[in-house]
Structure 1
Amino acid sequence: MTTSVHTVLDSPCGPLTLVAREERLAGLYMTEHRHQPAQETFGPRVAADDLPVLKDAARQLEAYFAGDLTDFDIDVAVTGTPFQQRVWAALRDIPYGETVSYGELARALGQPTASRAVGLANGRNPVSIIVPCHRVVGADGSLTGYGGGLERKRWLLGFESSSRQPTLI
């Protein structure tokens, strides 16, 4: 059996629980996160500095929330079906500050009729923010389900959109 450990970080969108397993990030969950595993599976709580992957994730999340990082480079270990793995990999290709619809993501995966399945896989993403499932919206641009709650999805999209605005020198 693989041992997990976790840490909790403060962030502008509330506490984030980071779970590490086998020296890789296995989860990033928000308060009242839908589809999160039982907290008993997170393992003991440690300081972020106690494990290199947690320290790196904390550093990159801090840079992201400061507006200084737009693309995460963290080794993740997520468990899911082959289809879920494909969806989660495709999510990492959505550029910072941009959105795609579930249908567009399904077409990018070569399965144009699978938008509902893409939505279900998206909702099961265990590494929110780092694997940016918040960047997927409804066909009409509306905000639809998000594991961390629609208010957080709205905040994350607004944050990314506002930090992309050019500044005048």
Structure 2
Amino acid sequence: MGMDDVAGIFAREFPAVDGYIQVGVAQGRVISVDFPARPQDDATPDHDLLDRVGAYLNGDPDDFRDVTVALTLPTDERRVLEALREVPYGEAVTAEQLARMTAGLDDEDEADLRTVRDALTGNPAPILIGDHRVRDAPGATPADVAALCRRVEGL
């Protein structure tokens, strides 16, 4: 199923992450990606984005930049995640580099670096917005899944 014609909760078990990846979609936009032990009862496994995630986990390069993600975060945090989406597949940055890439933030300002860290931990769409590509700050991606994504991308 395509992104534009469907809304709902989609989940599929992926042995590589030792569990499920669940995606929430509304109005053609991803609103959430999470990693539950069990998917929601109304989740269905058929969605082309889950096909792409599976291919990515198996080593097919994909930066997911074409996937529309609804970013309902404070403006500065949203800009951080938008800047992070520009980090190419297979490349990594530091939190300070990400601050420099984000309009209006100063990589030497502790409050701005906190904004970067808050944006990463508040990331609503791990994998699609690659917080695993930030070397020195935790994101919303569970540690084991982030480690897998880094291995897949050779980071």
Q: TM-score interval w.r.t. the shorter chain?
A: 0.7 to 0.9
- Determine helix, strand or coil for the equivalent of 1:10: strand
- Determine helix, strand or coil for the equivalent of 1:9: strand
Which structure 2 residue ranges, 5 or more long, are not aligned?
Answer: 1-6
Determine the structure 1 residue equivalent to 2:115.
117
TM-score, normalization by structure 2: 0.79
Is the aligned partner of 1:65 residue 2:57? yes
Most deviating of 124-133 and 13-22: 13-22
Determine the structure 2 residue equivalent to 1:90.
83
Instruction: Using the aligned pairs only, state the percent identity.
Output: 26
Counterpart AA for 1:127:
A
For 1:22 and 1:48, the matched residues in 2 are separated by 19
Is the aligned partner of 1:21 residue 2:14? no
Determine the structure 1 residue equivalent to 2:141.
148
After TM superposition, where is structure 1 displaced by more than 4 Å over at least 4 residues in a row? none
Match of 1:47 among 44, 47, 69: 44
Query: Cα RMSD between the aligned structures?
Result: 2.2
Determine the structure 2 residue equivalent to 1:10.
13
Which structure 1 residue ranges, 5 or more long, are not aligned?
Answer: 33-38, 50-54, 139-143, 163-169
**Shift in Å, 1:149:** 2.7
Relative to 1, partners in 2 of residues 1:148 and 1:131: Cα closer, same or farther, differing over 3 Å?
closer
Cα contact 2:12–2:21 (8 A) shared by 1: yes
Counterpart AA for 2:121:
G
Most deviating of 153-162 and 11-20: 153-162
Cα contact 2:117–2:139 (8 A) shared by 1: no
**Shift in Å, 1:86:** 0.6
Determine the structure 2 residue equivalent to 1:132.
130
Determine the structure 1 residue equivalent to 2:4.
none
For 1:149 and 1:62, the matched residues in 2 are separated by 17
**Shift in Å, 1:10:** 1.8
Aligned residue pair count: 140
Cα contact 2:32–2:125 (8 A) shared by 1: yes
**Shift in Å, 1:97:** 1.7
